[in-house]
Amino acid sequence: MSKYSEYKGLNMPSIEQDMLATWKAGDYFKKSMDQRRENESFVFYEGPPSANGMPGIHHVISRTIKDMFCRFKTMQGYLVERKAGWDTHGLPIELFVEKELGITKEDIGKKISVEDYNNKCREVVMRYKDKWEEITEKMGYWVDMSNPYVTFDNNYIETLWWALKELYNKDLLYKSVSIQPYSPAAGTGLSSAELNMPGTYKDVKDTTVVAMFSLAAPATLSGFTLHTLQTTLHETARNAWEPFVNLPIGGGLLAAEKAAEVYFMAWTTTPWTLPSNCGLTVGPNIEYVLVQTFNPYTHQPTNVILAKGLLGKYFKPEAQSGDLTLYTTDTKAIPWHILAEFKGSELEGLRYNQLLPFDGNTREIAGGDPFRVIVGDFVTTEDGTGIVHTAPAFGADDNRVGKKNNIGILTMVDRQGKFNDFTGEFSGRYVKNYKDDPDYKDVDVDIAVKMKISGNAFKVEKYEHTYPHCWRTDKPVLYYPLDAWFIRTTAVKDRMIELNKTINWKPKSTGEGRFGNWLENMVDWNLSRSRYWGTPLPIWATEERDELKCIGSIDELIAEVNKANEKLGTNQVLTREGLDMHKPYADNIILVSDSGKPMRREPDLVDVWFDSGAMPYAQLHYPFEQNPLDMLKRNFPADFIAEGVDQTRGWFYTLHALGVMLFDSVAYKAVVSNGLVLDSKGNKMSKSKGNVVDPFATIEKYSADATRWYLVTNASPWDSLKFDLEGIKEVQRKYFGTLYNTYQFFALYANVDNFTFKEDYIPVSQRPEIDRWILSSLHTLVKDVTRFLNDYEPTQAGRAMEYFLDEQLSNWYVRLCRRRFWKGEYEFDKICAYQTLYECLETLSLLTAPIAPFFADWMYQNLNKVSGRNNSVSAHLADFPLANETYIDADLEERMHLAQDVCSIVLSIRKKVNIKVRQPLQRILIPVMDPHIKEQIEKIAELIKSEVNIKEIEYLTDNDGFIKKKIKPNFKSLGARMGAKMKSVAAAINLMQQNDINILEQDRSYVLTVDGEQIAIGMEDVDIIAEDVPGWSVANKDNITIALDITITEKLQDEGNAREIVNRVQKIRKESGFEVTDRIIVNIEEREALKSAIINFNDYICAEILADSINISADIQDGIEIDVNDIVLKISILKT
RNA sequence: AGUCUCGUAGCUCAGUUGGUUAGAGCGCUACACUGAUAAUGUAGAGGUCUCCAGUUCAAAUCUGGACGGGACUACCA
């Protein structure tokens, strides 16, 4: 096998199929790990997807990122094990099954047994496993799917139980009431997922009330510590009204005691929660005022407390300090006076009279110490009154703040959504129309009316806001206290925050902002799910709940069962083999308490996020296998994980929380969170919109590599990506097309010359300048790519490779070196060229391998099969290239860049004056102010000359007096010194004449006169560039200026013609299908204008076209007509 | 509503510690090249850097606000 494979065209999908077959046949994935068994490991966790839905294109991006870094680290020599996993529990699966069976949650256990239902879930959960495996393979994601972790496995669940017991023993697991979204119409709690379904939030118009809670009179406060402010407030109010005691204001005679009443104003959009009120919450730093005014409904004198910032919502500015004595029932702008001001924190502890007392909402029933003012951080002054009516039963915030302040709880509404029987005239009434009763009367309105009459309402109005509805019944949800088990994450909050700071987040903002804030505002983790298909909570309780038992392993469970059989006389049979830990079996197990009472399992399931968060240990079946600690040490924490940014508060959080709680450690050291994949117009992809991209079709049509490359290089992974197939096509054309072309070019000539890299490696220092340059660039690239990938900056890495391939390798090195490959004998220079290009291609294939594993390996193998240079048969078994610093020559890279600029400028002048490149020209002039630049250009003069077809380069120094200089102020250096004078100084510099510039250059300084002031500037304050060489064709770019001599002498003309002839003959050779090595004889028709060219450049022409001779004839038969610089003639070519 | 994120050419994106002519690729137009040819080069057109205000001698860049897209959390008076 001594020939490089050549191809007719680039067909990436077919390359990928070949490579997949090769990988499989050679078992390369396994090999890539096996050969590094003894090495340091790089720990990676695969976030488990759920296989009950089809994989989408958004899965391809996160898996590309995972795969890329795992491959990269493997090539760097680490052992990177990648165990696949499946997330198998949870609500989405249950909903899917319900839908498929056409049942609802209520039917489970009735129309279908829990056993059958769960079996169905178990079946459904792996429904698309095949599809997932297929996409995994096709996209080139190397992950071990032969031995995945599955969250419903007994072993997996056993570890979860172990973890739960650890938490239980650390007193981090507790049961409590929590406020959850609940649908009275459906009789079921709703998950946040259900609440986030489209159409759940609707605009509704509700009756809202600003309720007035009267401050308790000091006299009624026996038994409680008196708040001094309480007495003061009453006295202030009484004193304020004192002068009016005998006046008939407000539509009645003022009663002194009534006038001394002080009310808190609190707004609610759910008046039905008022009977359950237990507290009023104020913001500790909010300013509040006591206002003397009139009740707008009863017109009685009154005094209210509300946030100062919200006065404008209830009182007209023009009525401030209005005359109270003039108030009548008809007064539009109710007069008001501010009597006092205080901060929220001062109000804390004030007591008020219950607003709507009934039999069922007494202080005793509430428990705790209700009807007090408390403080809470969540209070704002954006709407309402700055005082929040707090009903701990019906709001999560309320509940939290209520618990913290021990104000008890009142639940005056039952689970059907109606007031209980102890709510006076409202007993039995539904708070919303849950039963579709045509005669339903809004209970909120009646409550509001009652309050208006009693003087406890300040404002009643309809208010439109969004409110969640049950997606199944379309009825408003209410927040309802339900029993639940919690993990006390707040206990380790500070530690979690501290450890989070050590995690390398990509992007940083997700870790600091989104995740950091989330940790700051952390609440305890509600672990309970009242569903059927999930990990059962391993807690058993006696009926009175006075004894609890948390089970931490299957063995322990079996032992406890045996104990129960013994003590309770039951006959339960439980073996490890026959065990299913799910419902309903787990629920049937009865254990015995220490005091001998039967215990039943707490019916809840565990949040699926616990399943996935415990995956680092559960996938190992920790600690139930051999050498658990050693095993854990090798697999925890992860060095790297990656998932979508939507996992920030999901998987990323639960991993972190459990890592901290169980092991006081981070669970991952680095995390890449990728953004969303949107459609090409920037809309979210969704099935209903029909804009989802099918990853199978995409890969099949455009290849996995192009897709992967596109996903990685188009935008940073964490920016949301507008997915556009056109972009993939572009990548295919641009990157892979160019790489392919370059390889093809190499293969074509290397095969001709039998280059197989059998010669010794020619020391780079001995190679031509251009070879040293491309190798320098190549090794700079290796350095950059390595750095970027180590930094988890794949986009930068990919773009650096694109730049190298396109701008440096293909468009410069190969283009300039073409001749070296097809011209001349197979000797030193040619071998240099082959070795150099080979090394570029080989290295590039290895650098590319993590991102585009198929194409890279394909190219690598094509090269390596022939040369056998590398011991590894696949790029993925090879080592990642190491930059050789000795190859890197910054000076060389700089001057080549200079050469590219110079050529580009010359070409643009040629274009401007319309002289084609094939026409040689005598010289260019380059004004050089900087000796370093001249030195640099001199070293690459040959290259420039041949590239732009000129004979010589001359350098102009300013002494020659030809150059017209331009001076520009250097704002950066000048700005700092000049400050406000900058503008006029800049203007003065722009006005400097040629001789001024000369003086500056000579003296290295110059004194400007600006606004009558003398200001000295130095060389560092300006840029001086040669702008023009009068009388020449000139162009410039940045600081380089070039003048081109466009005189075409006769000799140049001849040479141009000769080149033109060569060009035409070459074309004919090619069209006639001659081999590149065929020798020819040329007969050319006589033309006076071309004669001298043919005679003078005979040797040149013959050498170029491999002609043995050129004969000029007066007449040519059967010739081909050609056009040489507008001269038409015939030419005939014969093979010798 | 809060938090995060994005907003630069028709499209996709760069844009260093603020520094005066804001770049690239694709697409478009014209020309050239023709032993990589389904390749390549050169040139041209195309911008209110989303808007407003501020800081500064100087703002795409810094600050504040608004608007728009997206995500997450929540829906709470």
* Inter-residue contact A1034 to A1041 (CB < 8 Å): yes
Q: Evaluate if pTM is beyond 0.90.
A: no
Q: What's the token pair of residue A1119?
A: 């010739």
pLDDT digits (tens, 9 = 90+) for A1002-1026: 888 888 887 778 888 887 788 777 7
The number of C-alpha atoms within 13 Å of A448 and in the hemisphere containing its C-beta is 21
Residues A583 and A643 in one domain: no
- Note whether A790 and A734 are same-domain residues: yes
Of the residues A241, A525, A540, A609, only one is catalytic, namely A609
Band (A224; pLDDT cuts 50, 70, 90): low
Question: Which residues does A1081 contact at the CB level (< 8 Å), separation at least 6?
Answer: A1107, A1108, A1109, A1111, A1133, A1134, A1136
Q: How many CB atoms lie within 10 A of CB A187?
A: 14
| A531-CA/B4-C1' distance, Å | 32
Question: Is A165 in the same domain as A206?
Answer: no
For residue A1060, give its domain range.
1050-1135
Q: Which residue has the higher pLDDT, A100 or A516?
A: A100
Give the end of a domain, one of A603, A631, A658: A603
Residue A245 has pLDDT above 80, yes or no: no
Same domain, A334 and A308: yes
In a domain, residue A179? The reply is: no
Which of the following is catalytic: A55, A66, A67, A87? A87
DSSP tag of A13: H
Tell me the pLDDT tens digit for each residue of A680-718: 666 666 665 666 778 898 899 889 999 999 888 888 888
Render pLDDT for A362-376 as a digit per residue (tens, 0 to 9): 988 888 889 999 988
Instruction: Map tokens 């000799």 to a residue.
Output: A1051
Average pLDDT over residues A938-943: 85
**Structure tokens, A1134:** 């014969």
Q: Which of the four pLDDT bands, split at 50, 70 and 90, describes residue A987? A: confident
Q: Which of A446, A463, A480 is the last residue of a domain?
A: A463
Instruction: Indicate if the pLDDT at residue A205 is higher than 90.
Output: no
- Chain B: positions less than 7 Å from a protein CB are 1, 3-6, 11-14, 17, 19-20, 25-26, 31-43, 56-58, 69-77
Single out the catalytic residue among A508, A687, A911, A1135: A687
| Distance (Å) of CA A420 to CA A269, A359, A430 | 20, 10, 10
Looking at residue A1043, its pLDDT comes to 84
Pair A713, A795: CB distance under 8 Å = yes
Cβ atoms A450, A211 nearer than 8 A:
no
pLDDT at A179: 81
Q: Which whole number is the average pLDDT over A504-521? A: 80
Nearest CA-CA partner of A609 in A131, A195, A192 = A192
Closest C1' nucleotide to A397's CA: B76
| pLDDT tens string A872-915 | 999 999 999 999 999 999 888 888 888 888 888 888 788 777 78
Calculate the alpha carbon distances from A109 to A99, A466, A531, A532, A582 in Å.
16, 35, 11, 10, 14
Distance from CA(A489) to C1'(B2), angstroms, rounded = 22
> Are A920 and A1059 a contacting pair, CB within 8 Å?
yes
pLDDT of residue A960: 64
List, in sequence order, the alpha helices (H) in A102-245: 114-124, 129-138, 154-169, 192-195, 228-241
- Asked whether residue A385 falls in the same domain as residue A277, the answer is yes
| A687 annotated active-site | yes
| For chain A, percent of residues with pLDDT exceeding 90 | 34
Residues A598 and A669 in one domain: no
Q: Is residue A912 among the annotated active site residues?
A: no
Separation of A797 CA and B36 C1' (Å)? 26
CA closest to B4 C1', residue = A514
Instruction: Report the share of chain A in percent with pLDDT over 70.
Output: 96
Q: What is the pLDDT of residue A874?
A: 96
Structure token digits, residue A912? 């401007």
- DSSP, collapsed to helix, strand or coil, labels residue A762 as coil
Point out the nucleotide closest to A738 (alpha carbon to C1′).
Answer: B39
Contacts 24+ apart (CB under 8 A), A680-688: A680/A722, A680/A723, A680/A724, A680/A725, A680/A726, A681/A722, A682/A722, A685/A56, A685/A57, A685/A58, A685/A723
Catalytic one among A162, A267, A651, A718?
Answer: A651
Q: How confident is the model at residue A865 (pLDDT cuts 50, 70, 90)?
A: very high
If 0-12 CB within 10 Å is exposed, 13-18 middle and 19+ buried, where does residue A1100 land?
A: middle
Residue at token pair 């009175």: A544
CATH of the domain at A975: 3.30.720.200
Residues A315 and A413 in one domain: yes
Give the residue from A310, A358, A299 showing the smallest Cα distance to A334.
Answer: A299
Binding residue numbers of A for ATP: 687
Per-residue pLDDT tens over the stretch A542-590? 998 899 999 999 999 999 999 999 999 989 988 888 889 998 999 999 9
Query: CA-CA distance, A234 to A236, in Å (whole number)?
Result: 5
Directed axis angle between helix A890-913 and helix A931-939, to 10°? 80
pLDDT at A620: 95
Question: Which CA-bearing residue is nearest the C1' of B6?
Answer: A719
Residue A513 lies in a domain: no
CB atoms within 10 A of CB A81: 17
Known binding residues of A: 687
Pair (A1101, A1021) in one structural domain: no
State mean pLDDT over A1025-1040.
Answer: 73
- Mean predicted lDDT score pLDDT of chain A: 86
CA distance A440 to A444: 12
d(CA A70, CA A78): 9
Residue A904 belongs to a domain:
no
Nucleotide at minimal C1' distance from the A678 CA = B70
Helices (H), A592-627: 608-613, 615-618
A470 occurs within a structural domain: no
Query: What are the tokens at A589?
Result: 């197990």
- Please tell me the distance from the alpha carbon of residue A631 to that of residue A640, in angstroms, as a whole number: 18
Q: How confident is the model at residue A226 (pLDDT cuts 50, 70, 90)?
A: low
The single-letter code of the amino acid at A800 is A
Q: Of the candidates A970, A981, A812, which has an alpha carbon nearest to the alpha carbon of residue A896?
A: A812
**Which residue matches tokens 């420039």?**
A944
Are residues A300 and A399 both part of a single domain?
A: yes
Which CATH number does the domain housing residue A823 bear?
1.10.730.10
Say how far A1022 CA is from B58 C1', in Å.
16
Separation of A909 CA and B21 C1' (Å): 20
A716 closest CA partner among A645, A773, A647, A818: A645
**What is the predicted pLDDT for the residue at A959?**
64
Tell me whether residue A716 is in a domain.
Answer: no
Q: What is the C-alpha to C-alpha distance for residues A295 and A932, in angstroms, rounded to an integer?
A: 88
| Between residues A631 and A200, the one the model is more confident about | A631
Q: Is A87 a catalytic residue?
A: yes
- Nucleotide B69: closest residue by CA–C1': A682
Which nucleotide is closest to the Cα of A208 by its C1'?
Answer: B77
In a domain, A177, yes or no: no
Shortest CA to C1' contact from A1105: nucleotide: B35
Least confident of A284-288, A687-691, A1041-1045, A1070-1074: A687-691
- Comparing A766 with A1044, the larger pLDDT belongs to A766
Peptide bond just before A969 cis, omega within 30 deg: no
**Count of structural domains within chain A:** 6
Dihedral (CA of A387, A177, A195, A693) sign: positive
Q: Among candidates A1078, A1083, A1080, A1073, which has minimal Cα distance to A1122?
A: A1083
Determine, yes or no, domain membership for A806.
yes
Coil, strand or helix: which one is A370? coil
Q: How many residues does chain A have?
A: 1136
Interatomic CA distance for residues A1130 and A1115, integer angstroms: 8
- Cα–Cα distances (Å) from A878 to A599, A784, A1106, in that order, read 60, 19, 43
Residues A769 and A802 in one domain: yes
**CA atom of A728 to C1′ atom of B23, Å:** 23
Active-site residue, from A647, A900, A919, A936: A647
pLDDT, residue A686, reads: 61
Residue A191's pLDDT band, with cuts at 50, 70 and 90, is: low
> If you compute the radius of gyration of chain A from its CA atoms, what whole number of angstroms results?
42
Q: Quick check: is A770 in a domain?
A: yes
Which of A417, A435, A463 delimits the end of a domain?
A463
Measured from Cα to the C1' atom, the residue closest to B21 is A1038
Identify the pLDDT of residue A893: 86
Nearest nt by C1' to A281 Cα: B77
Q: Which two tokens stand for residue A959?
A: 């002494």
- What whole-number distance in Å separates Cα of residue A785 and Cα of residue A799? 9
**Residue A125 has what DSSP assignment?**
T
Amino acid at A1045: D
Segment A284-302 mean pLDDT: 89
Q: Is A746 in the same domain as A872?
A: yes
DSSP-derived 3-state class of residue A49:
coil
A587/A626 same-domain check:
no
A600 has pLDDT over 70: yes
- Low-confidence winner among A320-334, A578-592, A761-775 (lowest mean pLDDT): A320-334
Least confident among A173-177, A680-684, A1053-1057 = A680-684
A533 is catalytic: no
pLDDT above 90 for A816: no
Residue type, A768: P
Report the pLDDT value the prediction gives residue A1028, as an integer from 0 to 100: 73
Question: How many CB atoms within 10 Å of residue A391?
Answer: 27
Per DSSP, helices labelled H in A849-978 are 853-867, 890-913, 931-939, 941-948, 971-978
Q: Is A193 exposed, middle or buried (0-12, 13-18, 19+ CB in 10 A)?
A: exposed
A871 burial via Cβ count (<10 Å: 0-12, 13-18, 19+)? exposed
Can A647 be counted among the known catalytic residues? yes
User: What is the rounded CA–CA span in Å between residue A975 and residue A986?
Assistant: 10
Residue indicated by tokens 């509805």: A469
Q: Integer distance in angstroms from CA A653 to C1' B59?
A: 39
Cα A278 to Cα A276: distance, rounded to the nearest angstrom: 6
